[in-house]
Amino acid sequence: MNKELPDVEFQRFWRRLQQLGLNAYEARSYLVLVGHPRFKALELAARAHVPRQKIYEVLDSLVEKGFAQVVQEKTKLFSAVEPSLAIPSYLGRRAQTLQQELTDQSRMAGGLVEDLMTAYSEGQGGRGTLDYLRIVGEQSQIAAQYRKMLGDVQHEYMEFSRPPYAVDPLDEQLVKQARVRGVNCRLLLEAGTLDEMHRQRLEDYVAVGVQVRQVGPLPMKLALFDNTRGMIALLDPVITKPTWTSVVFDHIGLGEAMKGLFEDYWRKADGEISAGHASF
């Protein structure tokens, strides 16, 4: 039985198939095949408005992607693969391909980072007057910088923690790893920001020796590493949606000032949370 899709539905399905990854000719050809048992290639070209010189390339691609199949009779005919089979299978293969590409790119990126860092270090030989300060507004870069400093810390790490997070310290294994290395870790959490999931994670942190206290409103977000390097994050006062802009610093004087601020709030905070008592 032949059944042509109404034009409105045809256009809607055509766009959605392209969103999945088919090109315009492939999507149109598949939709025509769906409404008919089988077609010769040139018949399909006419029905799907695909140039005759392109139709074999389109059909080969549809067969490769699992949307069409060849029915061999006196002449080669083509029919649609059932959508419930074609679409999930296609997406599964595409996911595997994308994952492999991402794995390959990640492997290549590791070596590229090392090579470019060498060139970057050589190029930064002449330091400017404000090289110890950098402003970072992009969330992924803030997160990467935070994790790098947390991974490099040797002696002491302290943080004012309040949402929204570029990196949630209670969801960051590098904090535990720093503690295992013998780093003194202290977290000062803003009151009322913990949900049940975070309370459970807090138990794990306290168990490995991370010191945690709770305090009222914090003036900013602060992460300080070895009293010298760190990040200060301030809320943008102009826009309504909470957005943080971070200042990354590597400066002994500023580090000492931030440590003094931290110690002041640490003294004002509630008593230290102990294992088995991590409820707020």
Q: Can you give the residue ranges of every domain in the chain?
A: 7-87, 133-268
**How far is residue 165's CA from residue 141's CA, in Å, rounded to a whole number?**
13
Average pLDDT score over residue span 154-168? 78
Q: What is the pLDDT of residue 171?
A: 55
pLDDT digits 0-9 by tens, 233-250: 877 666 555 566 788 999
Architecture of the 133-268 domain: 2-Layer Sandwich (3.30)
The CATH fold assigned to 7-87 is Arc Repressor Mutant, subunit A (1.10.10)
Report whether pLDDT(54) > 60: yes
**How far is residue 149's CA from residue 21's CA, in Å, rounded to a whole number?**
40
The amino acid occupying position 167 is V
Report whether pLDDT(192) > 50: yes
Report whether pLDDT(79) > 50: yes
Report whether pLDDT(157) > 70: yes
pLDDT digits 0-9 by tens, 27-36: 999 999 998 8
Average pLDDT score over residue span 46-69? 93
Q: Which long-range contacts (CB under 8 A, 24 or more apart) does 146-150 make?
A: 146/223, 146/231, 147/172, 147/174, 149/223, 149/225, 149/229, 149/230, 149/231, 150/174, 150/175, 150/178, 150/223, 150/225
Q: What is the pLDDT of residue 127?
A: 53
pLDDT digits 0-9 by tens, 173-190: 888 888 888 999 998 888
**Is residue 190 a contact partner of residue 220, using CB atoms and an 8 Å limit?**
no
